[in-house]
Copies of this chain bind each other. A is one copy, B any other.
């Protein structure tokens, strides 16, 4: 048993700034991440909560140019289809959004969830097997916050076909794609979400999401 740390008001204020400035970064500078940064961030990501301590997250660092090109191609296909799904007015706006930092980001990390892992002995997954995916999401979110604390931006690309990405990256077919992440130093920074700046959507206050029972 160790003595629990107490966090002071200054830390809490900074944590709030971190959460507010986390941002989904879409435009990156091309310069690489500092040596050892990825390994350091992934170590922190592994402190995320996981159901039954199953640690089902799997990180794939994608460096091979031909695999990156294939991922980029899959994004282009899916992006065009997603565009067709929007009303004409929204589609024009959507086309102007640069939705992926795939071209510029120096670091690409795909995050998967291994649904078949025996680590954790299936504890806590009996009624909600998706807890495995949720644990990997928590790891991705931790990675995001840890990166931002080092001044590194991250963007979540979800307009991809999971099965195609699994094949491109040559990982087990039963691994579930959680997201494909671009990391790098941001070209510009802002504490207002890009979709809000572009008037795609507004943020709503917490009270509008709260019910009492």
Chain A positions near chain B (C-beta within 8 angstroms): 1-7, 11-12, 14-22, 24, 39, 42-49, 51-55, 57-64, 67, 78, 81-82, 85-86, 90, 94, 99, 119-128, 130-131, 133-134, 137-138, 141-142, 144-146, 148-151, 156, 158-162, 169-171, 177-179, 186, 188-191, 193, 195-196, 200-207, 209-213
Contact = CB atoms under 8 A, between A and B. Distances in A.
A49 B211 contact: no
Nearest to A111: B209
A62 B126 CA distance: 23
- Counted per complex, copies of this chain come to 2
Contacts of A82: 123-124, 126-127
A195 B12 contact: no
A204 B42 CA distance: 12
Given A55-B204, A201-B52, A134 B137 contact: yes
Cβ-closest 4 pairs across A and B: A4-B189, A82-B126, A53-B201, A19-B47
Contacts of A126: 78, 81-82, 85, 159
Contacts of A205: 43, 46
Nearest to A191: B2
Contacts of A207: 39
Given A53-B201, A159-B126, A169 B213 contact: yes
B121 A156 contact: no
Given A15-B15, A55-B209, A213-B67, A122 B47 contact: no
A39 to B, nearest CB: 7
Nearest to A163: B127
